Amino acid sequence: MRICETIEDMRAACHAARSRGQRLGFVPTMGALHDGHLSLVRAARASCEVVAVSIFVNPAQFGPNEDLAKYPRDFERDRDLLEKAGVELLFAPSVEEMYPAGAGTWVTVEELSSKLDGRSRPGHFRGVTTVVAKLFHIVEPSAAFFGQKDAAQVAIIRRMVRDLKFPVEIVACPIVREADGLAMSSRNAYLDPVQRQHALVLHRALVRVQKSWEAGEHDAGQLAAAGREEVAREKSVRLDYFEIVDADSLDPVDDVAKGALGAVAAWLGETRLIDNILLPRLAGKG
């Protein structure tokens, strides 16, 4: 595995792969890797001849009172996991490399960036789309792989790619869960044993919504109310939002017959977790 720390070096390595006619798959990460990240690597490996991964804790997507300083970092462990997974290229730039002194250019997807997590974390998605746009320019991948757990992020990146005509396929991969249903997340490491147990309410709420949907309830308001009611049973968990929205526009929907995204975010102490479920389009619905 080749490790590149500069933009120039990473560009050269990616150009060499593309010049050989190889399909280049890309997985952007902030490190602290778990099997959710590795599932993205496996998906890239299955459809691409060369797989590139970035590890960069992006300060631009953290708010002033968020967890940038304590975000988990273990580069040696991450490097070993990626090498064992067969990754050919690892991009590990410094903050100064990605944001040179005096940089003042941002990439913002208007409207979408203020919904769901964007409403709770002002400026977050501006930081995400700016760094992802930079990474796409550096790597120029054939396909980029993201986790469905970050559903709002996926929708916003798809819109950015469409609007800016990036020649890259965006692949959303299924959520990877622990055996008890908790969605894998680097922030799970912040939870103490009691919080870890209480965090399961997010998955229970989504399962309740899915079962209601399977039983024939298609009114989005009723489904969201059921999800919120389930979260409220866990008194130590502070709900940020539980919404039923269109998976592309992130706008609320009234009826889920044409498909929808059920999304939840909640706080356990100082740790904020997210999760979601996709409700598929019903047969015969346009």
Burial code (b: 16+ CB inside 10 Å, e: under 16) for 135-155 equals: bbebbbbbbbbbbbbbbbbbb
d(CA 251, CA 263): 12
Tell me which residue has tokens 């269109």: 246
Tell me which residue has tokens 């940038």: 68
Q: Looking at this protein, which amino acid is placed at residue 7?
A: I
Q: Which residues does 258 contact at the CB level (< 8 Å), separation at least 6?
A: 281, 282, 285, 286
37 a catalytic residue: yes
- Look at residues 65, 146, 160, 144 and name the one whose alpha carbon lies nearest to residue 111: 160
Q: Active-site residue among 37, 124, 198, 203?
A: 37
Three-class secondary structure assignment of 102-165: CCCCCCCCCCHHHCCHHHHCCCHHHHHHHHHHHHHHHHCCCEEEEEHHHHHHHHHHHHHHHHHC
- Note the Cα 235 to chain centre separation in Å: 27
- Three-class SS of residue 168? coil
- Three-class SS of residue 229? helix
Q: Looking at this protein, which amino acid is placed at residue 235?
A: K
Active site residues: 37
